[in-house]
């Protein structure tokens, strides 16, 4: 805490030292022989003592400073310590008193006027100019102190606001990263495990039918899918993003995996897959992967169509499959976060995604900017 803080312990100790100095320098024979002057001096001392302990900005503080103004201002001509009290009152009124601000200036002006009255009563009009100059200097010093306190308070508030903003920004970044990790894990698990279940179910059915050779092919395909899923999982966990992702090659891998798990796919690629950055490439490949996984889950054995075409400065990708297939083992699985994760990825990369029924088919439309 700063020693200039009006509520600090050190500040109050300095006020107390000032009170002792004022009392010791005010007690003299002239003051003691003037009861009215002594009474006013005691009033200023009591006001000073109350100001030492008064809470900042309280009504008691205003009353105490007013007492200092009256008692100190009217006894300037009779006691040297009263001049200290009067000047201190002006400084305090201008620099420390809280709202309303005009009250502090009123007390300062009142003190200056009472000082002039005091020297006139004492028959020392020559001191009036010096006292007024001193009062103006002290008032300006008090105003400068008030401005410094105001600026310091604003800076404190700005620092606090910046701290809150940093906390919220870090929290938002953490939530965004958690969402990204959740999407990556969902994409890998949903794609790989869904494909494995389909392959192993097919192998089990072929074994029951006595077709060992085709069942072995399904098991091998399951092994290849598991290896691919493990590689994807390692990429997610290790955040291996140092090399630029080849979107075209990654899409080809996703298509081949879909076909290797028994899915039928008709593809039409009318343009080169060139995207703005790696984020867009990852978003596109993951969205296509999720759409194909959903097609295998909800429309097994149905042909899926994949079209990639140029749309000016963007690439348009359309994935569709028939709807209305019988409920399957995997049709009711999943948390429903796949479509949400797809949309979040695409929108984060600056694109748009729309999904819904069109002419009896479930269609996913993706639009991503090239640059």
Same domain, 350 and 201: yes
Same domain, 178 and 311: yes
Tell me how many domains the chain contains. Answer: 2
Task: Give the CATH number, domain containing residue 243.
Answer: 3.30.565.10
**Residue 324 belongs to some domain of the structure:** yes
Same domain, 325 and 189: yes
**292-336 pLDDT per residue, tens:** 888 888 888 788 999 999 888 888 999 999 885 554 444 444 445
Q: What is the pTM (predicted TM-score) of this model?
A: 0.42
- The Cα 317–Cα 346 span in angstroms is 12
Bridge partners of residue 355, in order along the sequence: 364
Contact 103, 62 (CB under 8 A): yes
According to the model, what pLDDT value does residue 320 have?
92
According to the model, what pLDDT value does residue 364 have?
92
- Burial of 88 (C-beta count, 10 Å sphere; 0-12/13-18/19+): buried
**Residue 56 belongs to some domain of the structure:** yes
Host domain of residue 116: 9-125
Same domain, 224 and 325: yes
**Residue 106 belongs to some domain of the structure:** yes
Q: Any residues with CB less than 8 A from the CB of 16 and at least 6 apart, and which?
A: 52
Same domain, 187 and 320: yes
Q: How far is CA 192 from CA 159, 258, 313, 335, in A?
A: 49, 10, 33, 16
Same domain, 20 and 108: yes
- The Cα 101–Cα 94 span in angstroms is 8
According to the model, what pLDDT value does residue 348 have?
84
**Residue 139 belongs to some domain of the structure:** no
Same domain, 41 and 112: yes
Q: What is the pLDDT along the chain (371 residues), one digit of tens a residue?
A: 444 455 567 777 777 777 777 777 667 656 666 777 778 877 888 887 877 777 776 777 778 888 888 777 777 766 767 777 788 888 888 877 665 777 777 888 888 888 888 778 777 777 778 888 888 888 888 888 888 888 888 888 888 888 888 888 888 877 777 777 676 666 666 667 777 777 788 888 888 888 888 888 878 877 777 777 777 666 656 544 545 567 788 888 888 878 877 778 888 888 888 776 777 888 888 888 888 888 888 888 788 999 999 888 888 999 999 885 554 444 444 445 668 878 888 888 888 999 888 888 899 999 988 76
**Residue 21 belongs to some domain of the structure:** yes
**20-64 pLDDT per residue, tens:** 777 776 676 566 667 777 788 778 888 878 777 777 767 777 788
**Residue 67 belongs to some domain of the structure:** yes
Give the residue carrying structure tokens 């002239």. Answer: 30
Q: Any residues with CB less than 8 A from the CB of 328 and at least 6 apart, and which?
A: 297, 298, 300
Same domain, 200 and 268: yes
- Burial of 49 (C-beta count, 10 Å sphere; 0-12/13-18/19+): middle
**Residue 143 belongs to some domain of the structure:** no
According to the model, what pLDDT value does residue 189 have?
67
| Residue 354 main-chain phi, psi, to 5 deg | -130, 140
Exposure string of 212-234, with b = 16+ CB inside 10 Å and e = fewer, is eeebebbbebbebbeebbeebee
Closest CA relative to residue 368, chosen from 278, 290, 291, 292: 278
Q: Which of 125, 160, 185 represents a domain boundary (last residue)?
A: 125
Same domain, 175 and 246: yes
Q: How far is CA 148 from CA 13, 21, 92, in A?
A: 22, 27, 14
**Residue 146 belongs to some domain of the structure:** no
């Amino acid at each position: 805490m700063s020693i200039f803080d009006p509520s600090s312990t050190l500040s109050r100790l300095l006020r107390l030292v000032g009170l002792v100095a004022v009392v010791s320098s005010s007690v003299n024979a002239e003051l003691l022989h003037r009861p009215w002057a002594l009474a006013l001096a005691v009033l200023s001392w009591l006001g000073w003592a109350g100001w030492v302990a008064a809470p900042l900005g309280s009504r008691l503080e205003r009353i105490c400073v007013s007492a200092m103004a009256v008692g100190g201002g009217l006894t300037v001509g009779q006691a040297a310590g009263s001049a200290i009290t009067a000047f201190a009152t002006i400084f305090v009124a201008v620099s420390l008193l809280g709202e309303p601000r005009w009250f502090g200036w009123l007390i300062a002006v009142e003190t200056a006027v009472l000082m002039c009255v005091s020297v006139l009563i004492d028959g020392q009009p020559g001191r009036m100019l010096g006292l007024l100059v001193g009062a103006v200097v002290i008032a300006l010093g008090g105003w400068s102190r008030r401005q410094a306190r105001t600026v310091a308070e604003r800076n404190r508030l700005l620092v606090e606001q910046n701290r809150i903003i940093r906390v919220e920004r870090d929290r938002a970044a953490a939530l965004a990263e958690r969402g990204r990790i959740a999407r990556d894990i969902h994409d890998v698990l949903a794609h790989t495990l869904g494909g494995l279940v389909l392959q192993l179910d097919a192998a089990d059915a072929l074994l029951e039918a006595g077709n060992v050779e085709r069942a072995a092919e399904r098991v091998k395909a399951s092994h290849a899918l598991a290896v691919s899923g493990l590689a994807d999982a390692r990429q997610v966990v290790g955040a291996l993003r140092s090399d630029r992702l080849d979107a075209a090659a990654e899409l080809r891998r996703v298509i081949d995996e879909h076909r290797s798990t028994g899915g039928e796919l008709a593809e039409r690629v009318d343009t080169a897959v060139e995207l703005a950055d790696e984020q867009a490439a990852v978003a596109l490949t993951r969205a296509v992967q999720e759409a194909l996984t959903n097609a295998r889950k909800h429309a097994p054995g149905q042909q899926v169509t994949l079209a990639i075409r140029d749309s000016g400065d963007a690439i348009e990708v359309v994935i569709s499959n028939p709807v209305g297939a019988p409920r399957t083992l995997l049709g009711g699985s999943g948390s429903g976060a796949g479509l949400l994760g797809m949309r979040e990825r695409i929108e984060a990369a600056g694109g748009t995604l729309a999904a819904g029924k069109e002419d009896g088919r479930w269609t996913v439309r993706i639009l991503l900017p090239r640059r």
